[in-house]
Amino acid sequence: MSQDRYDVLVIGGGPGGYVGAIRAAQLGLRTALAERAALGGICLNWGCIPTKALLHSAAVLRTCRAAAEAGVSIQGSIEPRLDAMVARSRAIAGQLGRGVAHLLKKHGVTVIQGRASLLGEGLVQVQDGPRMQAQHIVLATGARARALPELPPGERVWTYREALAPSSLPASLLVVGAGAIGMEFACFYRALGSDVTVVEAAPQVLPQEDAEIAAVARKAFEAQGIRIHTGCRVASSRVDAQGLRVAFTGDAAPAALYVERAISAAGIVGNVEDLGLEHTRVEVRNTHIVTDGLGRTAQPGVYAIGDVAGAPWLAHKASHEAVRCMEAIAGLPAHALDTRRIPACTYTFPQVASLGWTEARAREWAREHGRELRVGRFPFAANGRALAAGEGAGLAKTIFDAASGELLGSHIVHAEASELIAAHGVAMGLEATEADLMESVFAHPTLGEALHEAVLAAQGAALHV
């Protein structure tokens, strides 16, 4: 049987897969991409982009409701139109999906629709499609929501897919999991008027974030009317015609709740099934493929990138990982990503963004190596631009190694945190020291001045607190 031959075959068309395919084609490699569903993957179609579109709609709603505080009078009632919000979100995802298809075509990447699996010896079979031969096979199959046996998905229990395209607004909603996905949905539905309760097994909301920042965020979430219970798990659930009753376990567990809907956002698992990995030496650990820093697996010629290759489960991590993997395949100098330099953003009200180590992790490192830390904090309540914009809530926090001045961590909770974190991302990437950042000049009045003051505060030299 004849087979199409490629230098690189990418399985999965998400932000890791399609970016990797484009970069491989740019490097002169004959490249194909197999995708079983829609180009752009979960991120573009059912994750990053459509959720941000919905959250933007909710932010506009919140701004209109607070217009009087800015001296603006809006006549008539201010009501959310859920159907229009969802339609706008889906339209944006569709537009970007078409853009991805255009980019792949522009770069000469062959796109094959269908589920692909490895046969061994560089062979890949697409279900109801061609058999292909590739020197390098890159797995970019992503991940999916973890299903809880105590809260199985169904009509009353949504995953992110159902939560992104509801036909009606639930009067009451339980969100299981207070990570980024769970809290973003909690903020969206609360802004539209749902009665929202969040439960989280960890002792804090946003478990991956700095504890101090998470505490500030929790206070803001609760001020919106979101009820939060940490340190508890779902014990059981029972569905009836009108809703579901959920019971909990844990020292801080609430009484059983009866809600119209629930969203399960308790983590993800890698998509490693039906890939034909049994024909390879690829190692899977905790549903994720084990790789080195450049995506190489235990099977020569087989690579894995993005969510299927493990944490951090972020689209921008997948894209950068893909580029480095392809450059290594092409023989260019390449080095592994430093995960400390990958920013994480949560688009709640307010947003939370972080880079590097939390204070707890940094202090653990300091104890192990006999080092001292300098930690600086600056409240946005003391920032003129934040107050002028009506966004004075929040905190900027920086963590430095006292001896070297190395920036170990930057953490922000504020309405514009996701944009602000980029400044310290560049600084960390260029290995700027505390002294360099203190000498940097930020325009006035800007939110960025809060980052500068947080650096100054680490030296006890903050000027406006």
Instruction: List, edge to edge, every strand of the sheet that includes 227-230.
Output: 157-158, 261-264, 172-176, 195-200, 227-230
Q: Is 52 annotated as a binding residue?
A: yes
Alpha helices in 193-314, H assignment, sequence order: 211-223
**d(C-alpha 351, C-alpha 59), whole Å:** 11
Beta partners for residue 432, in sequence order = none
Long-range contacts from 156-159, C-beta under 8 angstroms, 24+ separation: 156/239, 156/243, 156/244, 156/260, 156/261, 156/262, 157/237, 157/239, 157/244, 157/261, 157/262, 157/263, 157/264, 158/261, 158/262, 158/263, 158/264, 159/263, 159/264
Whether omega for the bond prior to residue 445 falls within 30 degrees of 0, making it cis, is yes
Our answer to whether residue 444 is catalytic in this structure is yes
Alpha carbon distances (Å) from 438 to 203, 386, 410, 429, 434:
35, 21, 14, 17, 6
Sign of CA dihedral 326, 331, 333, 334: positive
Q: Is 200 annotated as a binding residue?
A: yes
Q: Hey, is 260 helix, strand or coil?
A: coil
Q: Is 307 annotated as a binding residue?
A: yes
Q: Please give the backbone phi and psi of residue 425, each rounded to the nearest 5 degrees, phi first.
A: -65, -45
Q: Hey, is 189 helix, strand or coil?
A: helix
Active-site residue, from 136, 229, 316, 444: 444
Alpha carbon distances (Å) from 173 to 193, 194, 398, 402:
10, 7, 36, 46
Q: Is 181 annotated as a binding residue?
A: yes
**d(C-alpha 372, C-alpha 382), whole Å:** 28
Long-range contacts from 424-429, C-beta under 8 angstroms, 24+ separation: 424/355, 424/398, 424/451, 425/341, 425/343, 425/355, 428/340, 428/341, 428/355, 428/356, 429/341
Q: Strand 407-414 relative to strand 195-200: parallel, antiparallel, unpaired? A: unpaired
Q: Is 16 annotated as a binding residue?
A: no
Q: Is 250 annotated as a binding residue?
A: no
Q: Is 47 annotated as a binding residue?
A: no
Q: Please give the backbone phi and psi of residue 41, each rounded to the nearest 5 degrees, phi first.
A: 70, -170
At 348, list the tokens.
């709640």
CB 218 within 8 A of CB 202: no
Q: Is 327 annotated as a binding residue?
A: no
CB 226 within 8 A of CB 186: yes
Q: Is 182 annotated as a binding residue?
A: yes
Q: Hey, is 408 helix, strand or coil?
A: strand
CB count within 10 Å of CB 128 equals: 8
Q: Which amino acid is at 445?
A: P
**d(C-alpha 206, C-alpha 191), whole Å:** 19
Q: Is 17 annotated as a binding residue?
A: no
As annotated, the active-site residues are 444
Residues of the binding site: 52, 177-184, 200, 267, 307
Residues of the binding site for FAD: 52, 307
Residues of the binding site for NAD(+): 177-184, 200, 267
